[in-house]
Structure 1
């Protein structure tokens, strides 16, 4: 028996949401050994560090051993702003206000390229975990599919807020069963995803539920998504339990049509549909980091929100326009990358401190509608990846037009972006990933 996917588009409306170039990465690795030409001082461009990759890169799998050196940038012009060298990565050393280096620290090699001899050369390094620890403590690195939400920076004195997300797509599970049995299984699964995990460097949990009609992937109306958050009790000023949060959502108007899908989960699967759910963590951006992002944005410089933003497209890759005919922007897109999260001294909550995309310049930007998971067919994954690449190309073309436009035309192009005010939809949509 086949399942009728009619109603997905209605649900979507109701829930909202070359050449000789050598690719470079922001490369996460864990230190294995330091190799110095002079044990008493840094030798720029010569010293190397052997490390184990934390993500696959340059033809090597995660865990592969690589040799990395920092490009010789010449003598620093300002002694107070001397960048880190391999020499500074030795155990026991301390750079600036950072902690002392310990065993097997985790480091990001920024703007890293592989040389002809197989050595990896980077422009800078950033220590994200000063020492390897089995359990998260003070600082931690999450790698995977990440997102940076809208930078809400009030013009008057107010709290700057920017949420950052991690999607744990490797945890994506399909919903199975029929009737009340399927609903009960769905409730148990989402409740597990909403469990508090601060001991694992976790942020506020949520879960994304998505229905993909693989029969017409790449056409408008073929995908619908919703996000289920760990609920908040205003009277008690405390979070609800995961079970209470799911029950609250199941009782909402939004969940009405989703319940129908869940009750027909097996029928959907037999009709080449994928009904799945995956966990997401959201982190509030650390105060100083948010202030830095605001200064960069106000100065018209590159900032992280802009990096995770592109002109909006629908499932068919077609532009999405506002009522005034202007192209809509999609904030909080998802890319392969990393968040460094930190704890304030004496606190238990984790805050997003720094974020990197894995590709120095992302080649794909996904929405929750087209984020690939292992539950999808290879053909559908190709469609979703094509959408991710198209967003990047549309962004490049839009930037070229903006750079060529007169100031008054640039002003006009910026109109119609319907995010940033208190009554706008959540720009990031929802995102997760335990390490």
Structure 2
């Protein structure tokens, strides 16, 4: 990579013992052999601070999905309208985007541990308020939308600080493994959480789902309390967190090709190749002989299940050094798998292709996240993660509009297959035109 794109604090400038790092050359142990080479790389869990942060994620990954299911369910029960569910989603997206960008600047200006304490407490309080309104029987869509917007604002502030902190808790060579551990937990939550919510709603009701989420967030707050202080490395220099600092983050991205290409890779994969908006139509038409309900459930579950499997067997790829090539290969593999899904008439073959796409997505998430943490300096990591949060949240929603329109014009299978082919073509053109990403090594 170019000298201007190298992090100034990658592995040797941080205070290792203070942030849970081992002394150089220690702690890695002998190379793993046999099946262990394929199993998930758990080296980051040897770092006590990272282990606390990760353990809290295990709990909240499922708990957050309980609220994610309960809110639209309650809104639909009150209104009987899917349109209101969609409006609520938009009401949550806007503050999340705004506060993620601002939260990235804040994370670069303050002690990230303190910011995590404030924001996790805020998320827990909003979950408690969700529970109180359900117990009180308010049945007010306005209250639900306000609480959802507030919770997503706290999430927007929280996410950049949480992810940017990882680079201070593990050494650079373990960033990919740490991202694999975190991403696998989150994807597992996407599978287990909704299933658990569906099973619990008839038994305990919606209100108690909010309460369970609030209690799970208390575990997160306790874990954050036990983290080391994570102040800006420039210590005595006081920073602000305003529009100017946010703009500096975008200028930083535009001046560092590796970072810019990592964002573009995700936009290409998600906007052109995420076909979820067409799942209902495909389930009703192409895969109807297997049962529309079964087909729809399998289509929605296949990608996160594939991602979880990819994470569980991430031992080999999480140790790779050429992170740029891994991102390029993963995005191309995603495009190929989506194309195969679009061409498949057999439901089970379609599920296999979507699961393969999930594995590719996991690889892409792991290495894009590692690049953002290793190629950016610490004073910019929060802002990079803020932009990353916006891209991850916004890309699939843009894809819903694009694929829904294309599906109506050309048919769902043609739209899906065409999107997958576009992903492959555009990613290969970008990789050929800008060599910085394919040359990047940790």
Q: Say which structure is richer in strand.
A: 1
TM over 0.5: no
Higher relative contact order (CA 8 A, sep 6+): 2
Q: TM-score range by the shorter chain?
A: under 0.3
Please give the TM-score of this superposition, normalised by the length of structure 2: 0.26
